[in-house]
Structure formats: C-alpha cells, structure tokens
Structure 1
Amino acid sequence: MKLLYEGTITNQVLHKKLPFYMKRLYLEDLPVIEQVQAKVIDSISEKNSLQALTTEEFLFILNERGLLIGAFVEAELIGFRALLIPEIDDEHLGWDIGLSPEELQKVIYQEISVVLPEYRGNRLQQKLAEVIMKELSTLKEEFRYICCTVAPMNIPSLKDKFTQSMYIASLKEKYAGLNRYILVKDIEKPEVHYTSHITVKLDDLEKQRQLLDDGYVGIGFQLVHGFHELQFAKPFL
C-alpha cells in the first residue's frame, strides 16, 4: 500500500488527535466509498448543495477514468476526493466556459469531495485537494483545465475552490435545472492578475450572470458589513 500523505487529525466528537493517512482508492473500496458518501449526504440539511455520484460514476472513475484519493484513520475511511475524466458530450463543462472542441479533451473534473462530520474543521478537503492534484501527473493523459460545479450559497465548497486558485467562469442550469457555478483553473496559467474589482450579494444571481456575461469572473469572498459577498473582477491580459 503506497501512502500519499501521513499526519494527524482531530476527531471533533472525541476531541482527540489521531494519526491519519491518505492513499489511492480502487474498485474493492467501492462499498465503503458509497457508505461514506451516504453518511455525509445524510448529515447535511441542504441536499441539493452536494451533487452525489452514482455507482456507475464511481465505477467509471475507478476503471481508469480518473482518480479517487481517500483519507483514513486506522482502517476507517473518513473522507475522499475524486477527479473524473469526462466523456465529451453536450453536457461537457468545457462548453460552458467557452472552450473550443479541440480543447475539451484537456479537461478533467474535480468531482465530489466529502469528509465525515466528526472530522470537519481540519482543512481535510484542502489537504485532499493538494494530494490528488499531485497524483494527476500519474494519469496517462495530459490535462490543462480543472473544472467543477458548485451550488450557489455553498460557501465552504466555494472557499475550497478559491483556495485552489480556481475561479467562477460561468453560472448555468445543470443537473435538470439546478443553478451551478462552473469553476475552472488553467494549469498552464497558474497566476492570473485582475482589475475592476466589484462585490455582489451571494443571492443576487441575476447581477452575477450579468457580470459574467460582461467578462468578469468570480475570484473569492469579501466581508461586507459582516456578511460574505462574492468578489468579481476582470482578468488582466
């Protein structure tokens, strides 16, 4: 078993620091992967904020169409993160961010990222992101664009993506009519400079769409009178 990371993590229920490690997940791990996903979905009040993966999607990833990295305390899976190599179809996120047909094959998706409730507050999602992005180079294909979808108002997930230097490139209806931000990171352009900064209320989706249409992108949060607002800006070319 190749360990990708070792450290300590706090169990928030037991108030106890425990050793943990990360490793790649495989087909034989599917039952426990789905058990952890079900526990996490059961623990959140807003079910639509997390787009769960189906058994077929997990199988697709585990059959060499992506990566799954898991975090373990002893033998217990406490969280995982997924990358998926998408099929090129009408729902491909590359279309939503204006990529050309030739560029679609350079896109990989950051898919679901979950952590059991008792281990939240340890920045485990970010640690999983760091490890899985390092493992990206082990795949046969080469990728340029990391894409994902996030539900509006899902502040923890947006913070996670902004921490990885991803930005909101589009706001579309996905998954049978649900509003979703499409975020992207161009690996070949890791540092982007911005101008014309403006903040928008989290629930003002109409204004956000207008800014995105005008060439702005969403780059982070800003506290305004004690409340989070989304920060938009124009990439400086």
Structure 2
Amino acid sequence: MESMTKRNAFQFRRANEEDLPEICRIVKLAGESVPVKEWFEAEDEEFLAKHIREEGFTLLAKKNGQIAAIMIVRIPGLAEDNLGEYLKISREEMKRVAHLEIAVVVPEYQGYGLQYELFCQSEAIVKNKQMRYLMATVHPDNIYSFRNMEKLGMKAVLETKKYGGKRRYVMSKTLES
C-alpha cells in the first residue's frame, strides 16, 4: 500500500509541445547516466517530437510541476521496423501493434512504481485505440525494465540484435478486447 500512497503524489498526463525541451533533456540525461550504455537507446528531438504529435503519444508523471517520468508509445502502422514482424502476423494485424519505445524515470523518483504505472496507463490508451499487441524491446541484462514488462504481462518472444547490433529481447503482450 505504501507505493500506491507514494504514486498518488504524482500527476499523470499526456505530453504536449511545451514539454518537448524537458523531455529531450531527460532522455539525453538517461542516455548519459544509464549504468550500461547498451541498455538505453536515447532518441533525438525529431523522434521525440513525433511521438507527442503524430506517431503515438507520450505520457508524463509530474511532481511539483517537474517531470518525474516519461513513457513514449509509438503506433508504427506498417512501418518496416514494426515489431509485429516477430509475431508472424498478417499485414492487417500489424496495424494493431503499439510499441513501448522509451521509459525513463528521473533518478530521484526511482522506486515509486512510476514506470509500471505509466506502462498500465499506456496499455489502457492503446486498448482504447483498438490495438491488439503491445510490444517493446529490452536489453536482456536490464532486469528492472524486464521485470516491469513481465509484471505487465509481457513475454519475451525472442532475443535478437537491434539498434546497430545491440542485444534485445522482443517483448509482447496480446491485449484482450
């Protein structure tokens, strides 16, 4: 119950254009401070902006007006890098895949269950958008993110090389209608 009380101190909402500079700063910082560089693929401003306005959405957890955590979700459609290809599903079903792209919790807010809470909120949104598959990649040694994904009901489909040869599990969850 303690962690739920802690989570209640945060406000959760969708990001907008005004949040972009702070999101970029936090993602860059995460890329620089992650304990193992291969665990995190820091994306550029263009990628981050797209996921506020068009190719998905970005959720924020805020406390006292400051961003504490970010979750970026992509709806890839029929893009070449749609992770649904690993599920061997039809082109029509590929349109119903959503990717959990980036999850970052600012160091001083780690331990409050924010990554898991943002996962849950993201799942609810993609279900409302009639998505059927929630997918992600995670480095096999990044036990923190891996466990959060398992807690959400995601399973490792396979291990492969992504992002220029970095090891990744492809994670997937089939959403109930």
What's the TM-score once normalised by structure 1's chain length?
0.68
Aligned counterpart in structure 2 of residue 106 of structure 1, from 96, 101, 110: 96
Identity of aligned residues (%): 28
CA RMSD of aligned residues (A): 2.0
Question: What is the match of residue 146 of structure 2?
Answer: 158
Task: After the TM superposition, list the runs of 4 or more consecutive aligned residues in structure 1 that deviate by more than 3 angstroms.
Answer: 6-9
Matching of residue 48 in structure 1 with residue 20 in structure 2 = no
1:169 and 1:181 in contact (8 A); partners too: yes
Which of these two proteins has the greater Rg computed from alpha carbons? 1
Matching of residue 133 in structure 1 with residue 131 in structure 2 = no
Letter in 1 for 2:145: S
Inter-partner Cα distance in structure 1 for 2:29 and 2:79:
31
Aligned counterpart in structure 2 of residue 145 of structure 1, from 109, 124, 133: 133
Distance 1:103 1:136, change over 3 A: closer
Which deviations, in whole Å up to 9, do the C-alpha atoms of 1:158-182 show, x marking residues without a partner?
A: 1010000000112111112112111
Aligned residue runs from structure 1 range 1-237, under 5 A: 8=6, 19-137=9-127, 141-188=129-176
Which deviations, in whole Å up to 9, do the C-alpha atoms of 1:128-158 show, x marking residues without a partner?
A: 11222223355xx421000111111110011
1:43 and 1:117 in contact (8 A); partners too: no
1:36 and 1:78 in contact (8 A); partners too: no
Structure that is richer in strand per residue: 1
Letter in 2 for 1:49: W
Inter-partner Cα distance in structure 1 for 2:80 and 2:94:
11
Query: Any stretches of 5+ residues in structure 1 without a counterpart?
Result: 1-5, 10-17, 190-237
Inter-partner Cα distance in structure 2 for 1:41 and 1:86:
23
Q: Secondary structure, in 3 states, of the residue corresponding to 2:95?
A: helix
Of structures 1 and 2, the one with the larger relative CO (CA 8 A, separation 6+) is 2
Query: Any stretches of 5+ residues in structure 2 without a counterpart?
Result: none
2:123 and 2:134 in contact (8 A); partners too: no
1:97 and 1:182 in contact (8 A); partners too: no
